[in-house]
C-alpha cells in the first residue's frame, strides 16, 4: 500500500467523496489551459507550436499531486512502501488528446497508438534512471475506477521497487517455465485460441480473452501473439495491433456494459528481472461493474458472478 498523505491536500477531495470528477469547466488538461499544469515533459505537435501552448495532439506532464513525493513516512507497521523507497519516484500524466470528450471507444486507432508511443518514450527515458525497477502504466476511466479528472488521460509511476502483484505474476511465470520450459502466456494463447470459448477477439498481432480464472467479472487480457517480455520493446506492428484491439474491446464493453468505468494496466517485465524467456508483456482491462449496470437490466443476466465463457460470449456478440 502506498501511503501518500500529501494527496489529502487535493482541492477536490470532498467532491471525490461524492464520486464527482473534474469536468470541462475546470479542466486543467483542455487546450488553452496549459499554464494550469507543470511544464510538459513530452508533447506531440503537428504544426510546430511552442511548448506549453496549444496546438498539441498529446502532452505528458508531471502529476501535480504525485502519489510518491510526499511528506508522509510510515505505515502502522513502521515500515511502509514509501519508507522502503526513500521517496524516490516519478509520477507523470499522459493527456491523451486535446478533445475533452473522447474515450478509447471514440478515439481513432491512430490516436490510441499515439498514446502507446508516448508510454514507450517515457518508459525508455525513465529507465535510464537506475534507481527505478518498475514503471506502472495505467488508465483509470470514470470516477468509479478512480479517475479524478474527466479529460482522457493515463498515468505512469516509476518505482524503485517491484510491486507485489507484478512480482507474483513473474514468479508464477518462472515456475511454469521451470516445469515446462515454455512461456505460460504463450501456452495460454495457444490453448485459448484452439478452444475459442474464452476468446473475445483476435487480430494479426493481439488476442483478447477472458482469463480462465478471472478475479473480476469481464476482466479481459490483451496478449501480443509474439513473445516479448517488455512493452517498451514491442514493434510498430504490435502497437498498431494493440491500438486496434483496445479500441475494439472498449467499444464492445461500451455496448455490452453501457460504457463502464474501467482500469487498464500494462504489465511488463521489471527492469531488475531476468525474465525475458518466460515473462510476456500484456494489457489487463478491468471494467468496474455495479449491480445496476445496463447489461443486467438489459439482459436479466447477473453479472456477478459471470463466468469467463459468458463474458467472452457477451463481448463477442457486441462486436463489429
Percentages of the chain per state (helix, strand, coil), in multiples of 5: 35, 20, 45
CA distance 124 to 142: 28
User: Nearer Cβ to Zn ion, position 100 or 255?
Assistant: 100
Q: Out of 2, 16, 30, 193, which residue is the one contacting Zn ion (CB under 5 A)? A: 30
Q: Which is nearer to Zn ion, 90 or 189 (CB)?
A: 189
* Contacting residue, 16, 27, 42, 81, with Zn ion by CB under 5 A: 27
Q: Report the C-alpha gap between 179 and 258 in whole angstroms.
A: 42
Residue closer to Zn ion by CB (options 172, 196) is 172
Q: Please report, as residue ranges, which positions from 89 to 108 form the binding site for Zn ion (by CB under 5 A).
A: 100
List the interface residues with Zn ion, window 114-173 (CB under 5 A).
Answer: 151, 169
Contact string 257-296 vs Zn ion (x = CB under 5 A): ----------x------------x----------------
**Close Cβ partners of 152 (under 8 Å, ≥ 6 residues apart):** 95, 96, 97, 99, 100, 102, 103, 104, 107, 141
Half-sphere exposure of 134 (CA within 13 A, CB side): 20
Q: Give the nearest distance from C-beta 27 to Zn ion in angstroms.
A: 3
How many chain residues bind Zn ion (CB under 5 A)? 12
Nearest distance from residue 262's CB to Zn ion, in Å?
Answer: 15
User: Does 193 interact with Zn ion (rule: CB under 5 A)?
Assistant: no
Q: Which is nearer to Zn ion, 54 or 319 (CB)?
A: 54
Residue with cell 524503485: 160
Name residues contacting Zn ion, limited to 209-228 (CB under 5 A). 227
Q: What is the largest CA-CA distance in the chain?
A: 56
Does position 185 bind Zn ion by CB under 5 A? yes
Q: Which of 21/186 has CB closer to Zn ion?
A: 186
Report the sign of the C-alpha dihedral through residues 223, 226, 227, 228, in that order. negative
Would you count residue 174 as binding Zn ion (CB under 5 A)?
A: no
Nearer to Zn ion, 124 or 190 (CB): 190
Cell numbers of 157, please?
509511476
Cα Rg of the chain, angstroms? 20
Measured from the CB atom, is 188 or 303 closer to Zn ion? 188
The site for Zn ion (CB under 5 A) is made up of 27, 29-30, 100, 151, 169, 183, 185-186, 227, 267, 280
Amino acid at each position: 500500500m502506498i501511503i501518500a498523505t500529501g494527496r489529502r491536500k487535493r482541492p477536490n477531495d470532498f467532491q471525490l467523496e461524492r464520486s464527482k470528477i473534474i469536468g470541462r469547466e475546470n479542466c486543467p488538461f483542455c487546450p488553452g489551459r496549459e499554464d494550469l499544469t507543470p511544464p510538459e515533459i513530452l508533447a506531440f505537435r503537428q504544426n510546430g507550436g511552442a511548448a506549453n501552448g496549444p496546438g498539441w495532439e498529446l502532452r505528458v506532464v508531471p502529476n501535480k499531486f504525485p502519489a510518491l513525493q510526499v511528506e508522509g513516512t510510515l505505515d502502522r507497521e513502521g515500515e511502509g512502501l514509501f519508507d522502503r523507497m526513500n521517496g524516490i519516484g516519478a509520477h507523470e500524466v499522459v493527456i491523451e488528446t486535446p478533445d475533452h470528450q473522447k474515450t478509447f471507444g471514440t478515439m481513432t486507432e491512430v490516436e490510441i497508438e499515439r498514446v502507446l508511443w508516448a508510454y514507450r518514450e517515457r518508459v525508455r527515458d525513465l529507465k535510464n534512471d537506475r534507481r527505478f525497477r518498475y514503471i506502472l502504466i495505467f488508465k483509470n476511466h470514470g470516477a468509479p475506477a478512480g479517475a479524478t479528472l474527466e479529460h482522457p488521460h493515463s498515468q505512469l509511476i516509476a518505482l524503485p521497487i517491484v510491486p507485489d502483484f507484478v512480482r507474483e505474476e513473474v514468479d508464477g511465470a518462472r515456475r511454469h517455465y521451470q516445469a515446462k520450459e515454455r512461456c505460460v502466456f504463450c501456452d495460454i494463447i495457444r490453448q485459448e485460441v484452439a478452444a475459442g470459448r474464452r476468446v473475445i477477439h483476435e487480430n494479426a498481432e493481439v488476442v483478447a480473452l477472458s482469463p480462465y480464472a478471472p478475479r473480476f467479472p469481464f476482466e479481459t487480457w490483451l496478449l501480443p501473439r509474439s513473445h516479448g517480455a517488455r512493452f517498451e520493446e514491442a514493434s510498430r506492428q504490435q502497437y498498431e495491433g494493440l491500438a486496434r484491439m483496445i479500441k475494439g474491446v472498449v467499444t464492445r464493453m461500451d455496448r455490452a456494459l453501457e460504457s463502464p468505468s474501467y482500469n487498464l494496466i500494462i504489465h511488463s517485465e521489471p527492469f531488475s528481472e531476468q525474465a525475458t524467456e518466460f515473462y510476456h508483456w500484456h494489457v489487463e482491462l478491468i471494467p468496474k461493474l455495479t449491480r445496476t449496470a445496463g447489461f443486467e437490466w438489459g439482459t436479466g443476466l447477473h453479472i456477478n458472478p459471470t463466468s469467463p465463457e459468458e463474458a467472452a460470449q457477451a463481448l463477442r456478440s457486441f462486436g463489429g
